[in-house]
Chain A
Amino acid sequence: MSARLLVEAAGPGVTLQDVGRFGLSRYGVTPAGPMDLGAYLAATRAAGADSAIEASLGGAALRAEGATLGVAVAGGDFDIRLDGIPLPSACLVALAPGARLTLRAGASGAWCYVAVGGKLDLAKTLGSLATHARSGLGPKPLGAGDALTIIDAAAPPPEPLALIAPWLARDDAPIRLLLGPQADYFARDEIERFLNARWRIGARSDRMAYRLEGPTIRHARGHDIVSDGVAMGAIQIPGDGAPLALLADRQPTGGYPKIATVIGADLGRLAQLRPGGGLSFRAVSWDEAVAARRDYFAAIEAGAKREPLRAAISAESLLAENLVGGVVSALSDQTESSDR
């Protein structure tokens, strides 16, 4: 029997993503790809995967079939359980046939990645597996009853491991951005108002855009521009003066002024905020943005540190020792009894 990952339950907005569908923006194609690239890379690199399931606040339940799968999870502080037993929010585990992995919104975070070691038996669309639901490119959003077939399944880890990925640490530091490309459409005091405000993520936020609730930002000279290209993280001020942060599923071009653009190192931190979550911004220079980018990707390249689950959980004092022992023995039992 071929190795499969079954979707038993999925909230809204559970999609398959790879790094994105690049090179075709000139034909109106949105890149899509992960909302939190750092978390996506933590999961896919730990598992040895070319893509990942991106789950949102509605969570998901997954089950392995046909073989024991090596599965890595990362992104946001989600409540992750293997057959009901709590796991760290970033981990690499063996998912034995029949075992059930559940993801539920936890203390914080909006997007969680589940990567399976191996290759998905799925045809790429325009060079990518990424789902862009609005244009119908890539696989449909995942729902209960869907199954992903894994070819060349990677060996699962012999023991469950916590993934220690420092770049996933969340703090309340301001989200850094570069002013522009159309900061000159705003008077200096409106830019100051934008930078000094405390913002809240609006309820109608999704993979396309996060709405920012706070003061109204007024344009100095009209709110229509001749459409131009839109970068990931652009903050657009439409006619009503309520900013929109344009994210993975944004349209590739747009006709409203973009006051600023979030830097690459902070895109994941922005994406992991939930509706109602607060944030503020800080303008930085190109040099500061690139220095932050260098540090961020150097950490990702170095990879997540792997710690046996028992040590990791003890260190975080999340669970009593006897329960941890139960986790570890339950996990190793399943690994040993698998039919690989």
Chain B
Amino acid sequence: MEESTPRFLDCGETALSVEFGDSVDPAINARVLTLDARLRAAPPQGLRETTPTYRALLLRYEPLEISRDALIAAVDALLAPGGIEEKPSRSALRWTIPCCYDPAFAEDIDVAAALLGRPAPSLAQLHAGADYRVYMYGFAPGWCYLGGLPQALAIPRRASPRGPTPQGAVLIGGALALIAANPMPTGWYVVGRTPERMFAPRRDPPFLAAPGEAVRFEPIDAETFLALDARAAAGETVARRDAPR
């Protein structure tokens, strides 16, 4: 597929959205994350911050230091064939995140399984068997949106939100998976729970996985969940970080 030029959309005079498409699509997200990595490796003077999302990269900039046209030219240069080589990034990293699918922790797994017309253990098996990629964070600190949910687990979101999610809720909604940090109401379904903290403000680094990194879920039983949760509460990282294969 030939790659089209992105659209450049003003978000006021201090932000510019570089939009690669209007759908949730791994190829579009990969282009967002590639531009993000290249801009972070060699940021133009005046670029303040980049925010990658599913299909666009938001550039916050100081227009008294760099004009909109100069910023667009810098982006075009990075996207051109033969543009600056992408530096090896963390994007190759893979996280194995423990996840408990026991209904005592996976509060909505039975409801979701019924809606999907398959037994809960089959839902868990499919969910844990898939390869995910961190598409973006959003909504609240540490809310980590994942692409790669098996088609068989795509599920319409609730018409009205459920109550606050438990800490570390692993959710599905639409064609996406999500790991939640702090408790918030949501229209998604809680199909598992991880003892890992996706966000711990006093840990270094405070956020576990970066956009572009790969994620798998490793099923654990309730007893293991409680043991790992106690270790995670004490500040330990209980997810496994593997080098690229």
Q: Which residues of A contact B (CB under 8 A)?
A: 22-30, 125-126, 134-137, 177-182, 225-234, 251-253, 258, 261-264, 286, 289-290, 293-294, 297
Chain A residues, CB < 8 A from B207 = 24, 27
The answer to whether B138 and A227 have CB atoms under 8 Å apart is yes
The answer to whether A135 and B182 have CB atoms under 8 Å apart is yes
Question: In the assembly, what is the distance between CA of A262 and CA of B201, in Å?
Answer: 32
Question: Would you give the 0/1 interface string for B1-38, flagging 1 where the beta carbon is closer than 8 Å to chain A?
Answer: 00000000111111101010011100000000000100
Chain B residues, CB < 8 A from A181 = 9-11, 17, 19
Question: In the assembly, what is the distance between CA of A24 and CA of B9, in Å?
Answer: 22
Interface presence of B192 (CB below 8 A) = no
Query: Known contacts being A22-B49, A28-B139, is A226 close to B11, with CB within 8 Å?
Result: no
The answer to whether A231 and B19 have CB atoms under 8 Å apart is no
The answer to whether B68 and A286 have CB atoms under 8 Å apart is yes
Chain A residues, CB < 8 A from B199 = 27
The answer to whether B68 and A253 have CB atoms under 8 Å apart is no
Question: In the assembly, what is the distance between CA of A181 and CA of B52, in Å?
Answer: 16
Stretch at the interface among B54-62, B121-129, B235-243: B54-62
Question: In the assembly, what is the distance between CA of A225 and CA of B58, in Å?
Answer: 15
Least CB distance from B135 to A in Å reads 10
Interface presence of B83 (CB below 8 A) = no
Least CB distance from B186 to A in Å reads 13
Chain A residues, CB < 8 A from B23 = 226
Interface presence of B48 (CB below 8 A) = yes
Chain B residues, CB < 8 A from A179 = 10
Interface presence of B109 (CB below 8 A) = no
Chain A residues, CB < 8 A from B11 = 178, 180-181, 229-231, 234, 258, 261
Question: In the assembly, what is the distance between CA of A27 and CA of B210, in Å?
Answer: 8
From B9, B138, B182, B201, A253 is in contact (CB under 8 Å) with B138
The answer to whether A286 and B10 have CB atoms under 8 Å apart is yes
Chain B residues, CB < 8 A from A228 = 17, 19, 53-56, 58
The answer to whether A135 and B206 have CB atoms under 8 Å apart is no
Chain A residues, CB < 8 A from B17 = 181, 228-229
Least CB distance from B98 to A in Å reads 21
Least CB distance from B8 to A in Å reads 9
Closest to A22 in B: B49
Closest to A284 in B: B13
Question: In the assembly, what is the distance between CA of A263 and CA of B12, in Å?
Answer: 6
The answer to whether A225 and B22 have CB atoms under 8 Å apart is yes
The answer to whether A252 and B138 have CB atoms under 8 Å apart is yes
The answer to whether B54 and A226 have CB atoms under 8 Å apart is yes
The answer to whether B63 and A293 have CB atoms under 8 Å apart is yes
Interface presence of B226 (CB below 8 A) = no
Least CB distance from A30 to B in Å reads 8
Least CB distance from B223 to A in Å reads 30
Closest to A233 in B: B12
User: What are 13 contact pairs spanning A and B, CB under 8 A?
Assistant: A24-B207, A26-B210, A28-B144, A126-B206, A181-B17, A181-B19, A226-B53, A253-B136, A261-B11, A261-B12, A263-B12, A286-B68, A297-B64
Chain B residues, CB < 8 A from A229 = 11, 15, 17, 51, 53, 56-58
Chain B residues, CB < 8 A from A27 = 137, 141-142, 199, 206-207
Chain A residues, CB < 8 A from B168 = none
Chain A residues, CB < 8 A from B57 = 229
Question: In the assembly, what is the distance between CA of A231 and CA of B13, in Å?
Answer: 10
From A25, A177, A230, A262, B49 is in contact (CB under 8 Å) with A25
